[in-house]
Structure 1
Amino acid sequence: MPAEIIIYRGCWILGDIMCVVYYFSAFFAVSASVGNMVLISADRYIAICDPMFYSIKVTVKRVRLCICLCLLLSAVHSSWMLRDFLKQPGRYNSCYGECVIVVNNIEGAVDLVVTFLSPFLVIIVLYIRVFVLAVTQARAMRSRIAADKLQCSNTVTAKKSEMKAVRTFGIVVVVFTVCGCSYYCFIVAAENNLVGASSGKIEIWLIFFNSCLNPVIYVVFFYPWFRKAIKHIVTLQILKPGSSEANIV
């Protein structure tokens, strides 16, 4: 986002190499952020829809593998999108002080499917299944109140936690949809010459801002342990010996 400010001012003073670094990091960050959302949706789906086998299916080794694959695929996607630009930095510049890339229709269509449509469909399907199950369980729980008040009291806490996770993820999905739709609608319109390419400043900022909003949603509104983890990182406590054993729950 700071680099985008320099571009909007009209003169790129950091050179062609930094221009390549900027665009690659931008594509990579957005792709990795969306990939993380897909992983979170899968995690929430397993935790709520198949809780008995959660600890078996979601292991530390598998989580690390999924994160590495997410980062690797994001790097591959970004490299493919910018393959010509990476070979010859500055090839699309018409004068000194520009930092410009050109994405053709094929690349734009692939990016639309890979970075928005496919993740959106996966996330929506999983979220709907989680929401339906959570509502069904909540109704079943209320029907058992008269039969066993003590058991229901314990169940209420668990169900509240599940519904809290559903609401949180629902907000994240809505934010992702609003930011993503704005950006890709602008891209499609620009490709068809319906709007000028230079008029998409707000849309580009939105797609970047979405990645900023996701952790804010978790930190500010819902999970105290997430706030503690962020504080642990920001204050550099994570660099101290034994930091991995800190109690943040």
Structure 2
Amino acid sequence: MESLRPEDLAAVLLSLKVAAAATIASAPVALLTALAQARGRYGVRVALDALVTLPLVLPPVATGYVLLLLFGRRGPLGALLEKAGIVFAFDWTGAALAAAIMAFPLMVRPMRLAIEAIDREVVEAALTLGAPPLMRFIRVTLPLAAPGVAAGAILGFAKALGEFGATITFVAAIPGETLTLPSAIYAAVQSPGGEARAAALCLVAATLAVAAVLVSDAVGRLAVRAARGRAD
């Protein structure tokens, strides 16, 4: 199998950087959204379900185009942020933004299911003891939902790592700047005689995906043990 070129290794490292930034930035928001879905009123839950599901049902290219309209240099948000020195369009930060939005639904769902699985009586007991909402969340809800939170974060990381459609539409595929691993695979496929190179990149992508699944399983098991230890 053909060895990877320096630009391919740069694309792999950039993908890891983008996926990590997307996960770190969106995980707290995903957790709060999951909490609102699990504990909020019916109207709030319905509205959040629709918003969270939107990136899954829209074509990724459409999501990327909307991001370009909003966060492009001439877009309403992009022009405002550029004055503050924050640029998303055609920059790796834009790739992280696109990846975070596409991965967000996959992060929220396991977190919400984990929160919904918590026995209400446990939370009510903490309320009876006079614990304020923030303390109940930190000391009760978060430890018990930790397996779902960990699974959601790592699943989101894996999704962000493989995001292509929204990313290439929003930030293109500039070598050294926005050329991520999926974009590099696409470029290799489109190049004459690039089949071997594409296969090598696919192997790297598969290895990273399997590693993310294994890490998710290990972290989930550790979180379950930690939660049981606290319960005992």
Same fold, TM-score > 0.5, yes or no: no
- Structure of larger gyration radius: 1
Question: Structure 1-normalised TM-score?
Answer: 0.30
Greater relative contact order (CA < 8 Å, ≥ 6 in sequence): 2
Question: Structure 2-normalised TM-score?
Answer: 0.31
